[in-house]
Every structure is written in structure tokens, then in C-alpha cells.
Structure 1
Amino acid sequence: MKFLKGGVITLAAVVLAVFIALATWEPFFAHQAKAPEYREYSAEIVRDEFGVPMIYGETDPDVAFGVAIAHAEDDFFTLQDVIAMSRGRYGAIAGEDGATFDYVYHLLDARGTAEREYPKLPEDTRALFEAYATGLNQYADEHPEEIKLANLFPVNGEDVAAGFVLRQPFFYGLGNVVGPLVAGEELRREFGPDIPGFPREGSTPGASAPVDEAEPGGQARRDLVLPWGEDAEHLGSNAWAVTPERSGGPTTLISNSHQPLRGGVAWYELGVQSGEGWHFTGANFPGSPFPFLGHNENLGWTNTVNRPDMADIYQLEVNEAGTQYKLDGEWRDLETKTVTLPVKLGPITLPVRRTVYRSVHGPVIKNDKGYFAIRYGGMDSVQQLDAYYRINKATNLEEWQTQIARMAIPSTNFIYADREGNIAYVYNAAIPDRPEDVKANWRGILDGKRSDLIWEGTVDYAEIPKLINPASGWLYNANNEPYTAAGAGSDLSREDFSPVLGIEEKQTNRSRRAYKLLSETEGPLTRAELERIKYDTAYERQGYVADMFAGLETMEAEGELAEARDLLLTWDFTADNQGPADALALLMIRDFMSAEYNNKNAEELPKVAEHLQKAVDHLTTHFGRIDPPMSDLLRLRQGNVDLPLDGGSDTLRASTTWQVDEDGRLSLVHGDSFIQWVEWPRDGGRVFSRSIQPFGAATTRPDSPHYTDQMGLFVEHRLKPVRFWEEDVRAAARSSRKVNNAR
């Protein structure tokens, strides 16, 4: 018994030791960053009646320091997630889902890229990022009770740069290459004209046929997939620009980006002004010292996601040992590195070991079908950090376009306008400079043994689609192809662009509606007309909408299902909360939109009867009827505020993605988010703008008055004033405080 008792005590001690080790190892094992070299910063944070900060400073770095502190005051919770991602430690916060992104962090060599390339940036750009990191460190030092992961701070500019390297490729769909390759699943291509000699088909990587000639399909979905855990397959944005000649008044820029309402790629509104000429208002994502879109005194821009073919996949021939791959008849060493991914499970964090590979092509993924290398636009670069900073301070179209022409910002459409009355659309994309004289199917699985298929650099700016000051006087984009942007007689011709560029050929319902409404407006595109277009809730009976209704018209049903079918066939094709069929249509239409958007094959398309039955079951379970008002179903919810919404998936008034709450209501998680409406008066007067957010400036601070204070305006299609000019900022100020790091 004494021996048994001693054994139990020993076992308990071992278990306790293991538990303590698993609960404490990660912060000590993690990479420790060195704080930026000391430099004194001083900024003033002035907040208006909605809590939106304007940050003032003598120098640009002073302002960047203040940006970090202001953003942390409103959303330090999310900023920590983003910093953890930039350090490969997100799994220690978010468990298995976080570890998935940590794997991608190592796969893309985000840290190595930052270490190599960040020191090459201009000194003033690095100064901006070091100041921003200093602000984050100071807030962390002053609020230790808010820190959710030990040894996450200090951070430096290199850490912030690594976060950019990790996040940017996902905006053009790199996740839809990485994901299927890791799982060994079929890849799809969905855009662009067919490359002559290579028909478009699906393929599975690792097929036994020669990868260049007999296996021509294999293109991954290029929908927007972001590594923050949102329902990413439905994402989109709208943007408009109108000349003063066409508006009959001001040059107008409307920014209507659709992002998740919370998390690492949710918009944060702010303004900046320095004594060095940096004066800008707009919005950024957590982890950035500058706005990504908005306007300064002279010009502005907004963005929508585009989906060019930015990634190529190569199947490698690897030796039996898995240590070398063949290139041009010679064996080369396959780079391998074992990484440790932290995976939080309750009170403990498990260390999970994974091997990442790299060849001269780029990152390599091993699956059951072999080894596959990925090469993508913008790979191993941090130049976007500098380009975004420069366009913030551009003063005219020429200066702005010079920065865009660097092809440093890997992707996203730009819609531009300025005080001189210029408008522009640029299909911005760092598209690989693929050799057109080489026989290869760039949409397929390429032969990794051929070095002539390993391209270098991107195409020239002159090769990508762009429109400046079209005769129509208007431009728009709603995640559609660049060949419908300005109306008949002004649009670009697809024949002018090489199929090797891989430019998508895709329409959304939003693009069909915007194009139709803009084209049909014969008179001036006044503010009222543009508001009517922006908040439009209608669907065109084309594409997936037509397919869904064709299925309904031929569907046989009885009883309640037949009643629902007949009701839905009376729908007026608007999601305006007015008709008895709106709720049914809202529940039905998103999956059909997703199927078209993600290029699913016939076997994967939604079954009309099956989806209608699910919609009926949901409505009868939670509302006791199949025709409740849509406003009872679709809600904007934050804290104790619960408001009705209009709009649907893929309408210009976008209520795109939601979570189903316990009461059966649909709580919006993605859709219309930050909206900014900018006008430069025709007579040369000062720029004027308005904006709105779905919730408020302090999205993760329930005790803040700005946690929900914009919700009422948002659901009523109203905008609030943007405080851009200092006298307006001071007049509307509700708080002002100076921050510095003086020792």
C-alpha cells in the first residue's frame, strides 16, 4: 500500500509538472522582439462627437505613434490578435483555427521576408512603422490588465511589416490555393478568357498525366478568403466616382467597402494631420499606421477586391527521401524547416510540430498527391508599406498614379477622384510577368522541372486595365470584371488584354444593378440619384437568380412547400422589407450566389427544393409562419441594441453574411461596413465628406458611448459629418489629450 500510495503521488506530481509545462511554455518559447530604438514622440488625439479620432503631431512619426494609441484605446483586443498573427502565435489565443494561420505565416515566410526586406525601405517609411510600434508598446505597458498573451510585447516595425506580408495575399484569394493544396482537394479556375490551346477544366493536383499538356484545368477559386475566421466566400465591395460635369455639381467619390464588421480586417475610422503635410481621413485595418482608403485635401480613393490570376502552382519531382527536387535535369536541395505551432486547448497550449518546405519557385506544400510549389504576385515584398504611405500624401493624379504604377500594392481595384474633376479606375494587380512565348497552361498545374516557367517580377503598369476620365463621366466597380466600368462607349475592350494576365470575367448582381442604374440615368447624377443607386436593394433576374427561379418554376411540391414556392414566385426581386416573400428570398438566395461566385460545378449547385425546405423550416420554427417581415429576421445587433436591416446578399445595399442567433434572427457579421461619401465642390471650394460605421468607433469597448452610437444612423441610410478641417475638429471635439513617450 505504501508503494502504491507513493506511485500515485509520483504520478500526480508528473501530471502536475506536465500541466504546468503545457500551460506556461509558449510565452518563453516564442520569438522575442526588440523594442524600437528610443525616440521621443508627441501627439494629440482629438475625438469628435462620435469618438472618431483625429491625430495631430509635428512629424509624421509623431502622428503614427498617436494612431497606435488611439486605435488601442478603441480596440486593443483586436490589435493583439493581429500582432499575434504577425508573430506566428495566434494559435496560443485562438486555438486550432489560429494555428492554421500560424502555419501559413511560416509557409509564406512572413518573418523572413520582413527581416530581409524591411531594412531596405526608405528611412522615413521605417520611421513611421517604428513610431507606430512604439505607440502599441506604450499602451501595452500602461494597460497590463488588458494583455491576453504573455511576452507579446514589445513589438517593432519589422513585426508590423510581417503582418502585412501575411495578410495581403489573401485579398486576391491565395487562401483558395493554399487550402485545397493542403487538403489535396480539386482546384478550380474561374476567370479570364481561355488561353489558346488550353480549355478550362477542373483538375486534381497530382494526376498522372503530364501536367502541362494533358492536364489543362486546375484553377483555384479566387473568391476573397481572409484568415480571420469570417464567412469569407461572400465578401465584396462597391465604389463610384462621378465628374462634376456629370453630377452637375461636385466631383463625387463614394467608398462602400464590404468587410467583416468585427475582427482583424474590420475598418477603423480615423484622421491624421502632421506638420510635414500628411493630412488624410479615412479608415485602416488593425495593425496599420496609415489609412488604406479615404481622402486628403486634393484627392481620394477607395478599393474593391479584384481576383486576377496571381498565383501559379508547380508540381515538383522529389526524390524518395523527400530532400531534393529536380529542375532542368539537376537535383536541388529542398529547403525544409520544422516549426512549432501553439494550439490553445482550455488552460493548456499544445506544441504541434510541422514541417514547411520551399523551393526556388516559392513555398511548397506536401500532400498525399505529391509536392506542389506556389509562386504568387507580391511574394517576398514589403514595398506596399511605402506605396500606401506615399499615396496618402499625393497631391494630384500624376503623383498618385506614379505610386500605383510601382505595382507595389499587390492587388485591389482603385477608384479615384480629385478636386480638379478627374476620376480614374485602375485594375491594380501585381500580375506575374509570365512569358507569353513559352507553351504552358498557366491555369493548370505547371511542370516544376522547367525553370523557364519560373517567372520574375510583375507585368508593367501599362499592361493592366485602367480608365481615366471616361466620356460617360462616371466609373464604378462592384467586384466585377474591368470591362464594365464606365458605360457603353466608354468601357475597355477585353480584346486589348492578354489572356495570360488571367483577368477575371465575372459579374455580380451588384455590378449588373449599378451598371444598369448608372446607364439609365439620363440627367445629372446628383447626390439624390447616387443615394438611390447606392442603397438599391434589387436583384436582376440574371445569372444565379435566374437559375434559382427557373428551378422554382419547375419544382414539384405539395402542402407547405408548395405554398412557399408559390409565395416566392410572387417576389418582386427586392430586399427592401416591403414584400411578404422577402424573408424567404433572403434565406434562399445567398447559397445560389455563393455557388456562382465560387464557380461550383453542376453537382455542387444548391438543390432548390432542399434549400426551400430549410428556409421554410427555419421560418416556421422561429416565427410560426413563412412570410414574416424580413426586418424581423435580419438584424443589426451589438450589445443591447437590436435594429432591423434591409438589403440582401449581393445587393448594392449589402447585408451579405450573418450568424444565426438562438432566437432564429440573422445577426449581420459582414456587408456594408465603412461608408464614406466625398465631394469636391465644382467652384474649387474645400473638400467635404460624410461617413458611417455599422456600430461605432469603439467596437470592442462595451462601456464606451461609442460602442453602438452609429447603429441608428446606419440602418436609416444616414451619414454623419467627417471632421477633416482643424477648425471643424476643434469645434466638434468632445475630448482631447496629448500623449508622449518622454522618459
Structure 2
Amino acid sequence: MRRLIWVLLGGALALLIGVSWPLAGTTATEILWDTYGVPHIYADDTEELFRAFGWAQAQSHGDLILRLYGQARGRAAEYWGEDYLDSDRWVHTMGIPSRAQAWYEAQTPQFQTYLDAFAAGVNAYAQTHEAAIADEVEAVLPISGVDLLAHGQRVLNFTFVVNPQQVAALATDDSAAAMALPTPGSNGWAIAPQRSASGEAMLLANPHLPWSEAFRWYEAHLIAPDLNVYGASLVGIPVLNIAFNDQLGWTHTVNLHDGWDAYQLRLTEDGYWFDGQMRPFEVSTQALQVKQADGTLQPKTLTIRRSLHGPVVQEQGDTAIALRVVGLEHPGALEQWWQMGRAHTLAEFEAALQRLQIPMFTVLYADRQGHILHLFNGHVPVRSGGDVEDWSGLLPGDTSDTLWSEIHAYSELPRLLDPPTGWLQNANDPPWTTTLPPAIDPDDYPTYIAPLPSMDSRAQRSARMLAEDQQISFEEMVKYKHSPRMELADRLLDDLIPAARQQGRCTSTSGCRCPGCLGSGAAADSRAAVLFATWARQVDLERLFATPWDENAPLSTPAGLADPAGAVAALEAAAAQVQTAYGALDIAWGDVFRLRSGPVDLPASGGPGHLGIFRNLWFAPEEDGTFTAVGGDSYVAAVEFSDPVRAMAVMTYGNATQASAPRQQEQLDLAAQQQLRPVWLSRAAIEANLVVRESF
């Protein structure tokens, strides 16, 4: 019955907004699906392009995106039950649904049309392919352009900039736990012609995100008049977030950006204290509905209190915690990404960046003219002083001294264009080490804008590969991207093994006399890495080194063992643990660390970033003692701005989550083999690798 109602509503909506799509008898719009499930969308106008992009995303990820849109509405518990109640409370407390409506009204009329078209494409696919959409998510249909903005806001502002786990940890006065929570990351490179073997600029896009939910990427190729852009969007987002065209391209990394603060309020009977005066809260209520096991709805009342700082997220005794998050007055992130993809020159691209609507993410850029660019992008609050550490815990909320209301202008953000070194990198290190020797001086910026110069071992590995190769070929860039070397092991083994021998603890069970057991690479067939990785989990990496990292020796520090005896004792403990778990110290890395999807079970190469591995994978333990990859390398693209553009890519987990989507295993196979596949950009190449053609 509900599906029948949806079909009728969908048909009515199509009549109301002029969507009679797909249209019989016209081939103005086509989706050419290649052998890896990538849609190459050809359209004669932009509105049709967005409509087809919505259709394609629904075909590849329909169930997932409808679930995400339902969560962004704050109605997930109404649709799917009690497990989603906390999600709904977060969404409504943050004001996402009402703000999404305001954001929609703030869009330009043209971009409103594009958002509506994407939503109409999702609706049209669901209406035309009823059996392909799971019954449990059909209640979300039909969707609208407002849903796209709510989803974008939930993902960008309230997952990337701040997420509920961080707030919960801080609200329990556990600042250390809040900062220790795993955060998304990435690698990114931009290489200028003088460092490229071909004399052409090159770009490496390599985001590291969880392999699930809103963090999944979707690869697509969009072609319309004056547009030919290829890349990936976060699933459910109607524009490409990382992309390249015939002239230029960019990637993002998660930057060390403080875009939110938690304020501790002193409560009074009628409100809270601020600058010596009592202020009343702005109070509202939301009626949430929770689906019960029998299908009935049980109402839950949510009372939301807002201060000058933002919404209250916790109250205890005579104090409360209120949250302030950047970007909520900037509704244009999606349109900015769209304009970035349409740019043909550096000037046009920077004009899009100067809109400053995207709330965070470092930008690394390269183009056919040979320019490379690094921008520490984001909404950085103009603060009253202090450094990043000073603003990382609970802040006093009873004074205007800590309450910010403005963000830094584009011209005030760390930016570097065409450095003499000829290369730029970011592996989630602060902007000061984007190239070496450093070319951005932190003394030119407020100390709170980003952490002081520092490089963890993955960032050092990233910079080392670039710094040590004067002429990098495209093939070498792809090879470097998959490097399984452990920078941490390279740095420590010359100290650790002699320390064990000197202490007379270098026995056959300690590992240091096991041939190859303490090598420095996490390739699948390496018998050198499991023991070292286990040892690294036994020690305190923050206190491990005798000499700390030094910005004057960024690739040779930290160095030495601060506590050789303790390090050797940890090695013995790690060896015992490995021997007990796997029966041998020299077990292959790929026997323990796996790439799994359904029936597919493959050995993995690469590993955690704290080991200094550029080929970054995150693993979760299994009951049998093995580990399964759950995040890290996801979408990878290597681009050379030759004529024509040369590109290779892989979507590690495949380009679809719908059960009916074919051939998703093949990209996991490529990832296991540390390979990329060709990106087909010309019509002839696409036609030669065509699986399905859809014409509208």
C-alpha cells in the first residue's frame, strides 16, 4: 500500500515540477556505464545532467542514500526505529532540517533548479525501478533539493567539522578521549613540471575514509556543454568533491582545522550567565516519532535550548555545555564545488575558492599550465588569541572574550603557489610542511590557525618520496602511492636490534634473530611487519624517541630510543603475542591483514598511518586473530595534465552498494594487487569498454 501511495505521489510530483523523465523517443541524455560501474553521463544541458546524476546514484546506491537522507531529515527513528533516536536528537539539536530549508532558499535560482533536478532523478529511478529499492527505505521517498542540503550539512558540518562522538567525549570532561578519536585523513600530491619526468604537472588524489555510510565515495564522469569533469563525490552529494577536467584538477585532505568549540555555561534559575548578566535560553521543542516493533509510532519530545554560543548538548547540575560550529551561515559549499569543476584556469579556480563556502579541507591543485597550489581551506574562526591547544578543551562560556563570530578571509589563510621545490604534499600534517624546505612561515599567521610545525611518520614518508626523486614519472607516482614501507621501522630498527643484542635479550623468541621478522615493509608477502606492528602497539609512540621531531631536520627526526630497555621488553612481549596468536614470528602480513567483501577474502598490502605507511589502511580485529580492512585508501586517482589528460584510478570497495550491482569485486582485486585501472575519458574509449547504455 505504501509503495502504491509513493507511486501516486511521485507521479504527482513529476507533474508539479515538470519532471516527465525518462522521456521516450529522445537520446539527448545518456548514461554510458563502463566495465567498472562508472557512469559517464552525457547531457545537452546542465539540468538534465544533474537529473541523470541523481538517477545514476540511485541506481548504484539507492538504499544507502535514502537511508542517509532519512537521517538528515531527523526522521530516521520514525522510519526505522529506536536505534536511530540518538541520530534524530543530534540532527534536530543541531538544527539541520530547518537550516537546510533556509539554505535551499538562499541558493541561486539556477542552482536550486540543479538540486531539484538531481532529486527528481533519484525519485524517477525509484519510481521506475520499484523492485530495486528496499521496502524499508521507500518511506523516505520522494526526496527534494532540501534533503540534499540537509545531507550535505550533516556530513560536512556535523560529521567532518564536528561529530557526536567528539562532543560526547568532551562533554564527559574527557578532552584526551575527544582528541584521540579516529578522524578521517588523506594523502594528496601536486607535482610541477620541473619535477615530472614528462614535463607535465601531475596530481595524486588519495582520501582515507571509513568504507561505510556517508563516507563512501562515488565515481562519475559528467559531460555537458562547456563541461567535461571526472572524479568522485561523497555518496548522496550532487556534485563532485574531488575531480579533474581537461585543464585542471584538485584533491582534498582533512586539515588540522579547529572549526568548533564547546562552551561551559554557568546556569541560573532562568538562564545562564554571560558578561555578568543573566541571559535566557531560546527554547523550542520537537516532536520525534519512534517506530515500534508492531509498526506503530511512539512520540518522544525533544526540548532544545540554545544560547548565544549555540545549542546545549549536555546539562549537569548548575552547568551546561553549548556547541558552536563554523559554516552554518555559509550555504554555498555544493555550488562552490560545482564552480571548481567548471573552472578552466587557475584564476577561475581561485575565484571559486574565494567564495569560501566549504567549511574545511586542504586543497591541493595542479593544472595543464604547470601551476600547483596548496590552500589551507576552511572557516577558521577569528579568535581572541592563544594557540590550538588553548582552544581544544572546554571553554568558559560566561564571557565574550572566548566567543568568536567571524572567520578569517581567504587572503588570511595559509596558501602556497608554485614553490621552487616543484612539489606539494599533505598527509594531514599542518600546512607549514606542504613542501620542504618550508615555504610557508607559521609566524605570518595567528598561532591558533593551525598546530605548530609537525610531521608524523606518514607525512614524513610522503615528503621523503617526493624530495628524493628529482624526475617523477607517472608510473613512479602510482608505484609510490602503493608504497608499503614503514617509515617508523626505517627510523628505529637500527637502534632497536642493537639494543636487544646489547642486553643479551636477542633470542630466537624475541624476534631480532628471526630472519626478516623486523623488516620495514607491510607488503602482503612480507614476513617482516606483523611483529613490528605488534611491537608498535605495545609502546607509547609519544614518548618513544630520545630526540623529538625537529623542524630543522624534518625527515631525520625524531630519532633514537628514549628507553632502550623498555623498548626491548616490549619487543619480547610482542614476540610472545605473535607466536601465541599465529604459531610463528615470520607470518606473512597478508595472512593476518585482509581485504574482505562478501565471499572475497584477499591478502592486504599497506597498513595504519601511525607506522608511517603511505598505503594507508585501517583494520578491525576478527575473532580468528586476523584483521579486516574497514577504511583508509578508498578512491585513488593519479592524473597527468598532458594533452590529452592521462589518468588512472581505483575505487577500492567498488562503485555501488546495491545488491544488484555487478562486478564490484574486480576493484577490490586491483587494490589487493596494488594496481590502478585506466580512466576512460574519450567517447571512443568509453564505448570500447561499455557494459550498459541508458538513453533518456
Give the distance between the partners of 1:590 and 1:140, measured in 2 at CA. Answer: 47
Q: Deviations over 1:697-743 (max 9, x none)?
A: 22342x5432212222222222211122333323322211124xxxx
- Aligned partner of 2:594 in structure 1 is 635
Map of 1:625 onto structure 2: 584
Matched, 1:669 2:669: no
Q: Quote how far apart the aligned CAs of 1:384 are.
A: 0.8
1:156 corresponds to 2:156: no
Residue of structure 1 in register with 2:355 after alignment: 406
Alpha-carbon separation, structure 2, partners of 1:58 and 1:330: 60
Question: What is the identity, as a one-letter code, of the residue corresponding to 2:459?
Answer: S
Contact conserved, 1:545 with 1:592, CA < 8 A, in 2?
no
The CA RMSD over aligned residues, in Å, is 3.8
Classify the secondary structure of the residue corresponding to 1:430: coil
User: What letter corresponds to residue 201 of structure 2 in structure 1?
Assistant: T
One-letter code aligned to 1:725: S
Give the 3 Å change call, closer, same or farther, for CA 454–706 of structure 1 in structure 2: same
Deviations 1:575-633 (A, max 9, x none): 12454342233445468699899xxxxxxxx9997898588557634x43343211111
- Aligned positions of 1:537-616 closer than 5 A: 537-541=484-488, 563=510, 571-589=518-536
Partner in structure 2 of residue 266 of structure 1: 216
The secondary structure found in structure 1 opposite 2:231 is strand
- Structure 1 residue 564, shift from structure 2 partner: 5.2
Q: Decide whether aligned partners of structure 1 residues 542 and 663 sit closer, same or farther in structure 2, where only a CA change above 3 A counts.
A: closer
Q: CA, structure 1 residues 251+361, in 2 after alignment: closer, same or farther (shift >3 Å)?
A: same
CA–CA separation in structure 2 for the residues paired with 1:136 and 1:608 = 58
Q: How does 1:186-225 map to 2 (within 5 A)?
A: 186-188=174-176, 221=179
* Aligned counterpart for 2:232 among listed residues 252, 271, 283: 283
Whichever residue aligns with residue 441 of structure 2, its letter is S
The amino acid of 1:529's aligned partner reads: E
Q: How does 1:168-247 map to 2 (within 5 A)?
A: 168-169=156-157, 170-175=159-164, 177-182=166-171, 184-188=172-176, 221=179, 233=182, 235-247=184-196
Shift of 1:267: 1.0
AA aligned opposite 2:49 = V
Paired position in structure 2 for 1:325: 272
TM-score where L is the length of structure 1: 0.79
Contact 1:284 1:293 in 2 (8 A): yes
Match of 1:693 in 2: 651
Q: Partner of 1:257 in structure 2?
A: 207
Structure 1 residue 311: deviation in Å?
1.7
- 2:323: which partner in 1? 374
Alignment of 1:737 onto 2:686: no
Give the deviation of 1:255 after TM superposition: 0.7
- Specify the SS of the correspondent of 2:103: helix
Pick closer, same or farther for the CA change 1:704–1:448 going to 2, 3 Å.
closer
After TM superposition, the structure 1 = structure 2 runs for residues 401-480 of structure 1, keeping only pairs within 5 Å, are 401-436=350-385, 442-480=391-429
Instruction: Report Cα offsets for 1:73-131 as digits up to 9, x if no partner.
Output: 12212112211221113345776663333222112111121122221111121111111
Residue 517, structure 1, aligned to residue 465, structure 2: yes
- 1:297 alignment counterpart: 246
**Kept in 2: contact 1:270–1:282 (CA 8 A):** yes
Shift in Å at residue 416 of structure 1?
0.3
Q: CA deviation at 1:302?
A: 0.5
Which position in structure 1 is the counterpart of 2:552? none
Distance 1:524 1:541, change over 3 A: same
Aligned residue for 2:272, secondary structure, equals strand
Task: Give 1:175 deviation, angstroms.
Answer: 4.1
Task: Work out whether residues 222 and 229 of structure 2, in 8 Å CA contact, stay in contact via their aligned partners in 1.
Answer: yes
Change in CA separation of 1:563 and 1:454 when aligned onto 2, cut-off 3 Å: closer
SS at match of 1:734: strand
Which amino acid letter does the alignment assign opposite residue 179 of structure 1?
A: A
What is the letter of the counterpart of residue 45 of structure 1?
A: I
Q: Is the 8 A contact 1:174 1:311 kept in 2?
A: no
User: What is the one-letter code of the residue matched to 2:477?
Assistant: L
Displacement of 1:417: 0.6
Distance 1:441 1:699, change over 3 A: closer
Partner of 1:77: 63
Normalising by structure 2, report the TM-score.
Answer: 0.84
Q: Answer with 623-632 or 500-509: which moved more.
A: 500-509
Q: Secondary structure at the match of 1:499?
A: coil
Closer/same/farther in 2, CA of residues 242 and 464 from structure 1, 3 Å limit: same
Question: Structure 1 residue aligned with 2:51, among 62, 65, 78?
Answer: 65
Kept in 2: contact 1:658–1:670 (CA 8 A): yes
- Residue identity matched to 1:151: A
Residues 188-211 of structure 1, C-alpha deviation per residue, up to 9 Å, x if partnerless? 49xxxxxxxxxxxxxxxxxxxxxx
- In structure 1, the residue matched to 2:126 is 140
Shift of 1:66: 1.0
The SS at the match of 1:151 is helix
1:498 to 442, 446, 451: 446
Summarize the Cα distance change of 1:188–1:57 in structure 2 as closer, same or farther, 3 Å threshold: same
- Say if 2:493 and 2:518, in contact at 8 Å, map to a contact too: no
Q: CA 1:127/1:148 → structure 2, altered by over 3 Å: closer, same or farther? A: same
Select 1:679's aligned residue among 620, 629, 640.
640
Aligned match for 2:669, one of 707, 712, 716: 712
1:415–1:559 distance in 2 versus 1, CA, 3 Å? closer
Is this contact kept in 2: 1:577–1:631, CA < 8 A? yes
2:313 to 365, 379, 385: 365
Number of the residue aligned with 2:282: 335
Distance 2:309 2:518 in 1: 52
Alpha-carbon separation, structure 2, partners of 1:654 and 1:575 = 9
Q: Count residues in correspondence.
A: 652
Q: 1:421 to 1:116 in 2, by over 3 A?
A: same
1:12-91 mapped onto 2 (5 Å cutoff):
37-40=16-19, 43-91=29-77
Q: 1:646 to 1:346 in 2, by over 3 A?
A: farther
- Relative to structure 2, which stretch is displaced further, 142-151 or 78-87? 142-151
- Confirm whether residue 647 of structure 1 aligns to residue 596 of structure 2: no
| 645 and 315 in structure 1: CA distance in 2 versus 1, 3 angstrom threshold | same
Kindly provide the amino acid, as one letter, of the partner of residue 646 in structure 1: S
Secondary structure class of the residue paired with 1:513:
helix
- Contact kept, 8 Å, 1:545 with 1:589, in 2: the verdict is no
Q: Whole-Å Cα distance in 1 between the matches of residues 210 and 669 of structure 2?
A: 19
SS of aligned partner of 2:421: coil
Change (3 A) 1:608 1:173: farther
Q: Secondary structure at the match of 1:709?
A: helix
Is 1:108–1:166's contact at 8 Å kept on the other side of the alignment? no
- Distance change in 2, residues 1:593/1:378 (3 Å): farther
List per-residue Cα deviations over 1:60-79 (Å, max 9, x = no partner): 22111111111221221211
Identify the residue that residue 3 of structure 1 maps to in structure 2.
none
Q: Percent identical across equivalent pairs? A: 27
